[in-house]
Amino acid sequence: MTRPGQGLAFTKASAAGVYNFLLGGKNWTAIDREAALAVIGTSPQAPEVAKENFRFAGRVAAWAVAEYGIRQVFDIGVGLVVGIGIDGVVGSVPLDSVETCVRNVDPGAVVIAYDNDEVVLAHARALRENYGHVLRGDVTDLDSIFDHPDLHSHPKLAGRIDLSKPAVVVLAAVLHFVDDPAAVMAGLRDRLAPGSVVVVSHATKSRTSQERVSGMTRAYDRASRPIIFRDEEEIAALADGWDLAPPGLVDVQLWSPDGSYEGEVHETVRVVGMAAVLPDHQPERDHTAGGC
C-alpha cells in the first residue's frame, strides 16, 4: 500500500497509519499493517476500541459545541481521518469525524485539524491541491497550534478564530504519545479562555492485564513514536484544576452526558476519556440538536 506524498521513507510504522488500519481505513503501509496486526494479536478487540475512540471524539466535541455554544474547535493529532473539511473534501474512514459531528450541530463552527506527522500532512495535501486542511502543529508546542500563521492568513480562517473566547480542544488518543501530558494541559490552561473544553482520550493500563499492555507497547516499538499506557489515576490527574463534565473519566464506550450511549467495554484493551472544562464560565446557551 502506498501513500500520497513523494520522498517519505516508511521505515517505521506511523501511529496514524496503525490507527487507520485498526479503523478499517485505507491509508497504511505494510509496516503499519504489521504493527497493527501485532496489536490485534495481543488485544483482539483493538479495532473495535479504536472505532469507539473515534466515535467518542466526535460525540464529545459535538456535545461541547452544543452545550456551551462554542464555535471554534482545534482537533490536535487528527490522524489520517479527514472528514468534510473547510474546503468541502470528504475523507477515507467510514465513520463520522470530529468535523462532521461538530458541523451536524453547528454548520458554521470552525474546525481546525493539526498533526505533526509528515505522512498525515502529505495525505492532507494530496486531498487538496493547494492547501493542506491539516495544519502542521505539535501538541507539545502550543505556539505551533495557536500561533499558526494560517489562522490569521488563510482566507477560510482569518477573522474566525478568537482565543479570548472559549474553544474546544480535542486530544483524542494523542497524549499517550507524549512524555509530559500534564505540561500540555497546563499550557492549555494558560492559553484558553475560561469555559473552554478539552476532550481527552488516553490508553490506560488500569484493569487490563500487564501482559497485554506489554504486548501492545512492544507492537508500537515498531512505530515512529512509542505509546505510553498510563493508569487511570494519572490520566484523571490531567484534569486537576479543571471541572470534569459528567460522567467524568470513563471508558470511551461509556461517555455520554446522560448515560444514553453505551458501547461494549473490553478488558483486553482500554481507552478512557473525559471532557474537562476550564472554570469561571457560565454556559452561554442550551443547544441540544444533532451531534453524533
Ligand X SMILES: C[S@@+](CC[C@H](N)C(=O)[O-])C[C@H]1O[C@@H](n2cnc3c(N)ncnc32)[C@H](O)[C@@H]1O
Please count the helices (runs of H) and the strands (runs of E) in the chain. 10, 8
Q: Binder to ligand X among 21, 28, 68, 177 (CB under 6 A)?
A: 177
Residue at 130: amino acid letter = N
Smallest gap, in angstroms, from Cβ of residue 76 to ligand X?
Answer: 6
70 near ligand X (CB under 6 A):
no
Q: Does 173 bind ligand X (CB under 6 A)?
A: yes
Q: Applying CB under 6 A, does 172 fall inside the site for ligand X? A: yes
In this complex, which beta carbon is closest to ligand X, that of residue 105 or of residue 203?
A: 203
Among 27, 42, 104, 116, binds ligand X (CB under 6 A): 116
Q: Which stretch binds ligand X (CB under 6 A): 62-70, 76-84, 249-257, 262-270?
A: 76-84
Q: Which is nearer to ligand X, 1 or 158 (CB)?
A: 1
Q: Does 178 bind ligand X (CB under 6 A)?
A: yes
Contact status: 81 vs ligand X (CB under 6 A):
yes
Q: Does 76 bind ligand X (CB under 6 A)?
A: yes
How many Å is the Cα radius of gyration of the chain?
A: 18
Least distance in Å: CB of 39 to ligand X? 11
Strands 110-115 and 72-76: parallel
**Distance from C-alpha of 199 to C-alpha of 141, rounded to nearest angstrom:** 18
99 scored as a contact of ligand X (CB under 6 A): no
User: Of 48, 69, 89, 140, which one interacts with ligand X (CB under 6 A)?
Assistant: 140
Contact 27, 123 (CB under 8 A): yes
Which residue's entry shows cell 469555559? 195
Tell me the H-state helices in the chain: 15-23, 30-42, 46-68, 98-105, 118-127, 142-146, 150-153, 181-191, 210-220, 232-237
Least Cα distance to 243 among 190, 279, 194 occurs for 279
List 112's β-bridge partners, or say none.
74
Does 57 participate in binding ligand X (rule CB under 6 A)? yes
16 or 35: CB nearest ligand X: 16
If the CB atoms of residues 170 and 194 are measured against ligand X, the closer one turns out to be: 170
Task: Give the CA-trace dihedral at 239, 240, 243, 244, to 10 degrees.
Answer: 40
Residue 53 binds ligand X, judged by CB under 6 A = yes
How far is residue 99 from each of residues 156, 206, 221, measured CA to CA in Å?
A: 15, 30, 30
Q: Which is nearer to ligand X, 178 or 238 (CB)?
A: 178
The residues that touch ligand X, with contacts defined as CB under 6 A, are 15-16, 19, 53-54, 57, 76-79, 81, 115-117, 120, 138-140, 172-174, 177-178
